[in-house]
Amino acid sequence: MSRARRPLSYVLFAAIGLTLACAPPGQEIVFWQFWPVEVVQPLLDRFEKEHPGVKVRMEQLTWQSGLEKITAAMAAGKAPDLCEMGSTWMPRMLAAGQLTDWSAGVADLRSSLRGWELCSIGDAVYGLPWVLGTRALFYNKTLLARAGLDSLRPPETWAELYAAAEAVHKLGGAVRGYGVQAGERYVLFKKFMPFAWGNGGHILTDDLKRGIFDSPENREALEFYLSLRKVGMMERQDVLDRAFKSGTLGLQISGAWLCRSIPKEAPGLRYGVALVPRPSQERGTHASFAGGELLVSFNSSKHKAMALQLARFLVTPENALALAQSAQSVQPAVIGADTMAFYREHPEQQVMIRQFETAVPTPNHPAWVDLEAAIEDEVEEALHDRKTAEQSVRDAQRRLTDLLAKPTR
């Protein structure tokens, strides 16, 4: 959003306070979420202070068992009033038809937040975007300088990325040019698809009925991703992150959690964050993966109205920023967040917000988890030279077609 539109956002959010002041007292809101208690509790304390008689009973879930617990609660008709939901789980939840339709209750916020496609079906809205996450290019300025490159100008195109990785890789010893992701479910997809999306590739048709993964754009993107193996290392996310923080990896696509851990674990590391390179200056986009945390309520929730009010309270610029600052692994869904003082003072994290402007959400198909796994499996086959890029893309298309043909509910 342009700065000229920001005043409207703040007027809208200010109006929330007037709405909350009318909330009936004497209710207990059950809120399930995944952040550490010390991160979220101060926000809930302030909500309760502003609403005497209203109590929020918060329960912290784990990513390992959270989906199972939410699913069981829905089946038993004992869903919480408000629940944090990861964007990759939303397609399944939307298909289940048990989320509360918030379309009317959040209409005034549509121009103030981004990420609506993560919680919507057509014009119907079933959640509120709270905080968002994406991936961007992290580069080691010291290694780029040692390789004779301009450390203040990160690669902007595929050719520049390969050339930079090659130059750094030639430094030899323990130094590697680029970190290629492999061997990890739910992660490889987020590292490869930015190149495919940036090259104009797609996964499904807009109506979600057909796979269109077997395309020249996706084949070219996979061939480029495979080429990076020659000038880098191929490992899991945590290994690549450790190599980057130790100063032996030149470039990789990673997330904002590095902005949090590097100052603590590698304070002397000179690094930068840039948009994911596009195919060339003449075509393509700086695409990346778009994900986030949504706030939702359920048809079976006891206090749906109050849940919506708490959700609106949590997504205000002030409160979403408080969470993002504390976590430093996500960014507020508020449009214009990159102009907040905190992000002006932290340019690396500011880039993460700007990366989201060209990031792509995953299709809201109920079988998405299986579709994603099929793509990752086939990319993995190519990474280990068990298939060519052409074979992998073709086989991924075949598997997507088979999965789409199965009943989803």
DSSP 169-237: HTT-TT-EEEEEE-S-TTTHHHHHHHHHHHTT--SB-TTSSSB---SHHHHHHHHHHHHGGGGEEEE-H
147 and 141 Cβ atoms separated by less than 8 Å: no
306 and 54 Cβ atoms separated by less than 8 Å: yes
Give dist(CA 144, CA 228) in Å, integer.
16
How much is the pLDDT for 78?
Answer: 92
H helices of 77-205, where? 90-96, 141-146, 158-169, 188-198
How much is the pLDDT for 10?
Answer: 42
Tally the residues of the chain. Answer: 409
Nearest to 129 by CA among 330, 322, 339: 330
Interacting residues of 117 by C-beta distance below 8 A, sequence separation 6+? 361, 364
Give dist(CA 402, CA 408) in Å, integer.
12
- Ordered per-residue pLDDT tens for the chain, 409 residues: 333 334 434 444 444 444 444 555 578 999 999 999 999 999 999 999 998 889 999 999 998 889 899 999 999 999 999 999 999 889 889 888 999 999 999 999 999 999 999 999 889 999 999 999 999 999 999 999 999 999 999 999 999 999 999 999 999 999 999 999 988 888 899 999 999 999 999 999 999 999 999 999 999 999 999 999 999 999 999 999 999 999 999 999 999 999 999 999 999 999 999 999 999 999 999 999 999 999 999 999 999 999 999 999 999 999 999 999 988 889 999 999 999 999 999 999 999 999 999 999 998 898 988 999 999 999 999 999 999 999 999 999 999 999 999 876 5
Nearest to 247 by CA among 274, 273, 269: 269
Angle of helix 304-314 versus helix 37-50 axis, rounded to 10: 110
How much is the pLDDT for 281?
Answer: 97
Nearest to 330 by CA among 44, 84, 69: 84
Q: Where are the beta strands (DSSP E) in 277-386?
A: 288-296, 331-332, 359-361
How many contiguous H segments (helices) and E segments (strands) does the chain have?
16, 14
Q: Name beta bridge partners: 133.
A: 291
Please, what's the b/e burial string for 321-360 (b: 16 or more CB within 10 A of its CB; e: otherwise)?
bbbbeebbbbbbbbbbbbebebbeebebbbbbbbbbbbbb
Q: Is 124 helix (H, G, I), strand (E, B) or coil?
A: strand
Give dist(CA 331, CA 260) in Å, integer.
12
Q: 172 is written with which tokens?
A: 């030899």
Q: 354 is written with which tokens?
A: 């700007």
Give dist(CA 162, CA 85) in Å, integer.
37
H helices of 228-303, where? 237-245, 257-265
DSSP states along 339-396: GSHHHHH-HHHHHHHHHHTTEEEPP--TTHHHHHHHHHHHHHHHHTTSS-HHHHHHHH
Residue owning tokens 């990319």: 379
Give dist(CA 90, CA 208) in Å, integer.
15
